[in-house]
C-alpha cells in the first residue's frame, strides 16, 4: 500500500465512529484495485443533509462549525482526507440518504479512470 494509506484509513474510520454515536455500527472494506486501493467505510449514524454533501470535503463546507458542537475537533478531518487521497492520485466521495440514515465514504488511490471503484471512473 502507498505511504499515507494508513492515515487515510484512520481518518475515514475516526470520522465514521465520531458520527455513529454509542451503539452505532461502522463497516470497513479495503481491497486492491488495478489502480491502487479502494477503501470504503459506512456507518449507520446521523447522516449528512443533501445540501451539505457537495461541500463536506471543503474546509468551509462542514456542517455545524461551532466550538460547542458535540463532535468536537476542528472540522478539518475530511479536508485533510481529500488532500491525502489526492496526493496518491485518487479521489474521495461520500453519500448519504439524509439525516439519521448513515453515511458511506469511499477513497480510491491511484490514477483515476483505472478501476479505482469510485464513481466517474
Taking the CA of residue 88 as centre, how many other CA atoms within 13 Å lie in the half-sphere pointing to its CB? 26
38 inside domain: yes
Please calculate the CA angle 37-11-14 and round it to the nearest 5 degrees: 125
pLDDT in tens, 6-51: 889 999 999 999 989 889 999 999 999 888 889 999 999 999 999 9
pLDDT at 3: 58
Sheet holding 91-95, edge to edge: 26-32, 37-43, 103-109, 91-95
Look at the chain and report how many structural domains it folds into. 1
pLDDT at 69: 47
120 inside domain: no
Residue 120 has pLDDT above 50, yes or no: no
CATH number at residue 13: 3.30.565.10
52 inside domain: yes
pLDDT at 73: 57
Note down the domain range covering 23: 5-109
45 inside domain: yes
118 inside domain: no
Q: 40, 106 in Cβ contact below 8 A? A: yes
pLDDT in tens, 54-102: 899 988 645 555 444 455 556 688 899 999 999 988 999 999 999 999 9
Residue 115 has pLDDT above 60, yes or no: no
Amino acid at each position: 500500500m502507498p505511504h499515507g494509506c494508513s492515515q487515510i484509513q484512520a481518518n475515514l474510520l475516526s470520522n465514521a465512529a465520531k458520527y455513529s454515536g454509542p451503539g452505532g455500527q461502522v463497516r470497513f472494506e479495503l481491497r486492491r484495485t488495478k489502480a491502487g486501493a479502494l477503501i470504503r467505510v459506512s456507518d449507520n449514524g446521523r447522516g449528512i443533509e443533501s445540501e451539505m454533501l457537495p461541500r463536506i470535503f471543503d474546509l468551509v463546507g462542514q456542517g455545524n462549525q461551532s466550538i460547542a458542537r458535540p463532535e468536537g475537533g476542528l472540522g478539518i478531518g475530511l479536508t485533510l482526507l481529500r488532500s491525502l487521497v489526492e496526493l496518491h492520485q485518487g479521489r474521495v466521495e461520500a453519500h448519504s440518504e439524509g439525516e439519521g440514515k448513515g453515511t458511506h465514504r469511499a477513497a480510491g488511490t491511484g490514477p483515476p479512470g483505472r478501476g479505482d471503484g469510485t464513481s466517474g471512473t
